[in-house]
Amino acid sequence: MIAGLDIGSRSIELVTLIDGEVAAAKKLPTTFDPVSQCFKLLDGLRPASLVGTGYGRNLIQRLGLDCECSTITEIKAHALGAAHLFPEARTVLDIGGQDTKAMSLAGGRVLKFEMNDRCAAGTGKFLEYTAGVFQIPVEEFGPYAMKGENPPEISSICTVFAETEATSLMARGEKPEAIALGLHRAIVKRTANMLRRVGLNFPLVFTGGVANNPCVLDLLAKSIGGEIGRDILVPDNPDHMGALGAALHRHHDDTANAR
Amino acid sequence: MPENTHHEMWEKLNMDLEAHDGLLEVLGKFYGDIYLSQENRLKGAEYLDFVLSEVHGLRIKELQDAKAEGRKVIGSFCVFVPEEISLAAGAIHVGLCAGAEAGSELAEQLVPRNTCALIKSFIGFKMAKLCPYIESSDMIVGETTCDGKKKAYEAFNEIAPTYVMEVPQTKSGAARDLWKSEVIRYMKAVEELTGVTITAEKLKEGIRILNDRRRALQRLTRLRAASPAPISGRDALLVNQISFYDDPIRFTAKINELCDELEARIEKGDGVAPKDTPRLLLSGCPMAVPNWKLPYVVESSGAVIVGEESCIGTRNSRDLVDESGETLEEMIDAIADRYMLIDCACFTPNQERLENIASLAKDVKADGVIHYSLLFCQPYSHESLKVDKRLQAEGIPMLSIETDYSMEDVEQLKTRIEAFVETLA
């Protein structure tokens, strides 16, 4: 059994493979004790190899497991996962808890990538933070925003300033759904620019937790001019793609050695 | 790092002893983590370790002893300042502190907050009384290589005696004439400072000493083309950094010894990293001591750095001054011509830098290039886009990094650099 563990800022995902097929996929919030969360996810499992990815990838060396442990970056992991499920993929977009990444692929390999700078502008954290202003759980924020019409322009993508801007728009009497839609548009505008910088080609695979947000997906399709399901592909569990890619990395090595 | 042996000297230099002790402690720990932890290091690295451990100690004592004999100390921040002229007047020419965050908050009293880390650092070092080189300098020579620096020297002149050279921004004939007149003006300023008349004989000697230093550094650059890489990028960067501080004759001899060792290593096929380790060229902004963040992150991410296209790197050593001149006039022309070859991002257009990066990347057999710009450094940030385009045409992958001296982005840098290295493997 091979296990892939994606230790992100917001959540930790585990995917296990047996003979190259997904055997299990689990997820827990990261919390302030990610090591304990990793143990909970691995409970009862004895993988032969464990591959860590994500922001906390090096934590796997601290778990003290007796299996073989290695790491890859989340950029490579998401690319591997996306190319596995959609071999025709040319671009991958991953919006996670605190980072946004865009990658162009050729034959399943990363050609070029972009990643946001040190701040969390336009990431899952941005959505979570601004959803808090509306007192809505982040999972419901997308559907809520989709009810909005004539969204006001949100000029700041800085998480803290965007909150200030949303608050003053509310004070001006703008409808909250419209403001929420404006916030989603701000994210998509930034993301589309990043995609263009790496050289956007379809099909694009959208991964990471934010791919679960229907409003971001819808606005993205409108912004970059692709059709969802044909040009823009979302895996069934977009947040598990990092862990899947990590496990696949080891699986590919094994199959290459077996030949 | 030295104990209290130099406190008296530092006190005479009016430095902030307590803050300086704190800086040395941090620097010592940083050096231990980044340098002393390396495996399979060269014997010649003992010289680097010693010079660095005494960079604020014995070397400053040498400067003070020279001053006691009536010699002058000239400090500068840029490879444009013609050191040949300083040497010809018997002065000691040193690079000044500019590679750490120390005092950066103080600097914001004199320069805007969104100024690059290098400028904030040199102003901060002075304001916080942390740089014994600045305090030892009889003259500090600035230059107009970017808007940030040129305005910063106006402010800096209020707290330290600053002489500014006007570096032109094109490579036209008129620009070259301007630069030559600036070289002559500098020579007169140095003569006035030192009371020494620069003769053809003395200038010839200055040119030879510095060309020898450049030849030693060129030799090091050539040896780094070997695979496996015979020296770590961190150590090679340190060699380049120390070239700005140490006595040039001693430095040249020591680096030639180091190169002898490297040749023997290459002969045996030994290296600091396995043969299949991805090889990277660093390109862009200068990295003053102790700005080792990026090289450390790169070499902890499974890659080895095989060259530095930077002012603390090949831009400082690539071109020699023509040594055939006999008269003062001929030598000044040769100096002016040599410095006009510097492909600083301040020039417009600056096509030659693109050519130089592409050919250096091939010469050192780099698999990829990391372009390094300091945050708010407009010239290099602009050029990173052009360099990327040029390298793409050559089929050489490039990663663009924009950062400063703080540690807050280390984890994100690691992710980017590891991912870049993964794409090369």
- The string of pLDDT tens digits covering residues A19-37 is 999 999 999 999 999 999 9
Contacts A109 to B, Cβ<8 Å: 423
Distance from CA of A75 to the nearest CA of B (A): 6
Q: Which residues contact A127 (CB under 8 A, 6 or more apart)?
A: A138, A141, A183, A184, A187, A210, A213, A216
Q: Given an 8 Å threshold on Cβ–Cβ distance, is B422 in contact with A113?
A: no
Measured between CB atoms, which of A55, A73, A117 is closest to B422? A73
> What pLDDT does residue B40 have?
85
Residue A99 in contact with partner chain B when CB distance is under 8 A: yes
Q: Chain B within 8 Å of A74 (Cβ-Cβ)?
A: yes
| Closest residue on chain B to A75 (Cα) | B419
From the list A73, A99, A117, which residue is nearest B418 (CB)? A73
Question: What is the least distance, in Å, from the CA of B303 to any CA of chain A?
Answer: 14
Residues of chain A with pLDDT under 50: none
Residues of B in contact with A113 (CB under 8 A): 416, 419-420, 423
Alpha helices per DSSP H over A124-198? 124-133, 138-145, 159-171, 176-198
> Which chain B positions have a beta carbon within 8 Å of A98's beta carbon?
none
Reported as type and span, the H/E element at residue B358 is helix B351-363
> Are B412 and A99 inside 8 Å of each other by CB?
yes
Is the minimum CB–CB distance between B337 and chain A shorter than 8 Å? no
A55/B409 touch (CB, cutoff 8 Å), yes or no: no
Q: Which DSSP string do the residues of B388-413 spell out, in sequence order?
A: HHHHHHHT--EEEEEE-S-STTHHHH
Average model confidence (pLDDT) for chain A?
94
From the list B408, B409, B415, which residue is nearest A74 (CB)?
A: B415
Q: How far is A244 from chain B (nearest CA, A)?
A: 17
Residues of B in contact with A115 (CB under 8 A): 412, 415-416, 419
- Are B419 and A118 a contacting pair at CB < 8 A? no
Helix (H, G, I), strand (E, B) or coil at A7: strand
Chain A hits for B409, Cβ within 8 Å: 117-118
Identify the CA nearest to B44 among candidates B268, B220, B302: B220
Q: Residue B1: its pLDDT value, please?
A: 47
Contacts of B262 (CB under 8 A, 6+ apart): B42, B220, B223, B226, B230, B231
Contact A73 B412 (CB under 8 A): no
Yes or no, beta carbons of B408 and A118 under 8 Å apart: yes
Residue B3 has pLDDT above 90, yes or no: no
Confidence band of B4 (pLDDT split at 50, 70, 90): low
Q: Which of B410, B412, B414, B424 to mutate to test the interface with A (most CBs of A within 10 A)?
A: B412
For A98, the closest chain B residue by CA position comes to B412
- pLDDT of amino acid A157: 81
Cβ under 8 Å to A: B residues 348-387 = none
Contacts of B419 in chain A (CB under 8 A): 73, 75-76, 110, 113, 115
Q: Is the pLDDT of residue B196 over 80?
A: yes
Smallest CA–CA distance, residue B399 to chain A, in Å, is 9
Q: Does B408 touch chain A (CB under 8 A)?
A: yes
Q: Which of A55, A113, A117 sits opposite B419 (nearest CB)?
A: A113
User: Which residues on A lie below 8 Å from B422 (Cβ)?
Assistant: 72-73, 75-76, 110
CB contact at 8 A, B270 and B228: yes
Residue A112: its chain B contacts at CB < 8 A? 397
- pLDDT tens-place string over residues A138-188: 999 999 999 999 999 998 888 888 888 999 999 999 999 999 999 999 999
Contact B307, B151 (CB under 8 A): no
ipTM of the complex: 0.93
Decide if A72 touches B, using CB distance below 8 A: yes
The answer to whether B59 and B245 have CB atoms below 8 angstroms apart is: yes
Chain A closest CA to B221's CA: distance in Å? 29
A117 and B402: CB-CB below 8 Å?
Answer: yes
Residue A210 and residue A208: Cα distance in Å, rounded? 6
Q: How close, in Å, is residue A161 to chain B by CA atoms?
A: 19
Of all residues in chain A, the one with the smallest CA distance to B407 is: A118
CA distances from B176 to A79, B13, B104, B294 (A): 51, 39, 35, 35
Looking at residue A254, its pLDDT comes to 85
Residue B2 has pLDDT above 60, yes or no: no
Quick check: A75 and B412 CB within 8 A? no
pLDDT, chain B, mean: 96
B93 CA to centre of own chain: 13
Q: Is B402 an interface residue toward A (CB < 8 Å)?
A: yes
Q: How many Å apart are CA A238 and CA A245, to the nearest integer?
A: 11
Question: Can you give the pLDDT at residue A162?
Answer: 87
This prediction has a pTM of 0.95
Q: Min CA distance, A72 vs chain B (Å)?
A: 8
For A225, left (φ over 0), alpha (ψ -120 to 50), or beta? left
- Chain A CA closest to residue B411: A55
Query: Cα dist. B415→A250, B232, B344, B409, B421 in Å?
Result: 19, 21, 30, 10, 10
First to last CA, chain B: 38
Q: Are A15 and A1 in contact (CB under 8 A)?
A: no
What's the pLDDT score for residue A121? 83
A75·B415 Cβ contact <8 A:
yes
> CA of A29 to nearest chain B CA: how many angstroms apart?
20
Residues of B in contact with A118 (CB under 8 A): 408-409, 412
Query: CB-based contact (8 Å) between B205 and chain A?
Result: no
State whether residue B407 sits within 8 Å of chain A by CB: no
Average pLDDT of the residues in B175-198: 98
Best of A61, A112, A196 to substitute, by most chain B Cβ atoms within 10 angstroms, is A112
pLDDT at residue B210 greater than cutoff 60: yes
3-state secondary structure of A116: coil
Average pLDDT over residues B314-324: 98
Chain B nearest-CA residue for A101: B416
Higher pLDDT, B146 or A159: B146
Q: Is B423 on the interface with A (CB under 8 A)?
A: yes
